[in-house]
């Protein structure tokens, strides 16, 4: 006897897994459109989430952020949101982001964001340890550098690329920064 698919039958396991994955992907990236590839299909953006507080209280509202990828000594800049950071210094332009209960999320290198004019490229991470340096302002003036700088570690996507993570091991990231 042939089986007939009834509309009220339970969906197969694979369909549920696919639906959950798509929902999580959309929530995580904040967009449903695919990311622009950099090299060999590698996304040219890096997701970063952080936490900020002002006077000991989690901040809520539009926050203005500046980002730079620096060396371990904190003396050289390899990338910044506006391309204007030198010597691991503060970029000129701020990136406005929504902050809720102290939490924010951004795709570094997403040039569709105001103030984010520079895409990320693979050569930013080509050698040596890299750290993300972040500055914050609640008013678009008087930025404060958050500390500590956050060490950039490999992500699962990169582990699938030959030579992208020596030894194929993930390394833990740093803690949330606070003012």
Q: Note the Cα 80 to chain centre separation in Å.
A: 13
pLDDT computed for residue 159 by the predictor: 53
C-beta atoms surrounding 96 within 10 Å: 13
Which letter does DSSP use for residue 141 in this model? S
3-state helix, strand, coil in the chain (%, to 5): 15, 30, 55
The pLDDT value recorded for residue 14 is: 46
Distance CA 50, CA 70 (A): 17
Of 66 and 39, more confident: 66
The three-point CA angle 31-82-157 to 5° equals: 45
Distance CA 119, CA 107 (A): 10
* pTM, full prediction: 0.67
Quote the percentage of the chain above a pLDDT of 90.
55
DSSP codes of every residue in 23-64: HHHHHHHS-SSPPPB-STT-BS-EEEEEE-EETTEE--EEEE
> In DSSP terms, which residues pair with 97 in a beta bridge?
63
Check residues 153 and 107 and name the one with the higher pLDDT. Answer: 107
Element (H, E) at 159: helix 156-159
pLDDT digits (tens, 9 = 90+) for 10-64: 444 445 444 444 444 444 444 433 444 444 556 689 999 999 999 999 999 999 9
- Output 34 or 67, whichever has higher pLDDT: 67
Assign 163 a pLDDT band (cuts: 50, 70, 90).
low
> At 131, which helix (H) or strand (E)?
strand 130-137
Residue 30 exposure: Cα atoms within 13 Å on the Cβ side: 14
In 3D, which of 36, 16, 34, 13 has the Cα closest to residue 25?
A: 34
- DSSP string for residues in 100-111: BTTEEEEEET-T
> pLDDT for 76-135, tens place per residue?
999 999 999 999 999 999 999 999 999 999 999 999 999 999 999 888 988 889 999 999
The domain spans of the chain are 45-168
């Amino acid at each position: 006897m042939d089986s007939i698919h009834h509309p009220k039958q339970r969906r197969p396991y694979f369909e549920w897994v696919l639906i959950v994955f798509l929902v999580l992907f959309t929530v995580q990236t904040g967009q449903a459109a695919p990311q622009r590839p950099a090299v060999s299909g590698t996304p040219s953006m890096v997701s970063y989430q952080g936490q900020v507080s002002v006077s000991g209280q989690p901040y809520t509202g539009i926050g203005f952020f500046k980002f730079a990828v620096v060396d371990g000594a904190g003396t050289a800049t390899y990338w910044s949101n506006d391309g204007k950071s030198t010597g691991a210094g503060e970029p000129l332009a701020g990136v406005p982001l929504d902050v809720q209960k102290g939490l924010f999320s951004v795709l570094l290198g997403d040039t569709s964001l105001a103030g984010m004019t520079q895409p990320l490229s693979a050569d930013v991470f080509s050698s040596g340890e890299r750290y993300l340096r972040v500055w914050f302002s609640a008013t678009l003036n008087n930025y404060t550098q958050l500390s500590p700088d956050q060490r950039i570690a490999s992500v699962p996507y990169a582990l699938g690329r030959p030579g992208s993570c020596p030894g194929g091991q993930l390394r833990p990231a740093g803690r949330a920064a606070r003012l």
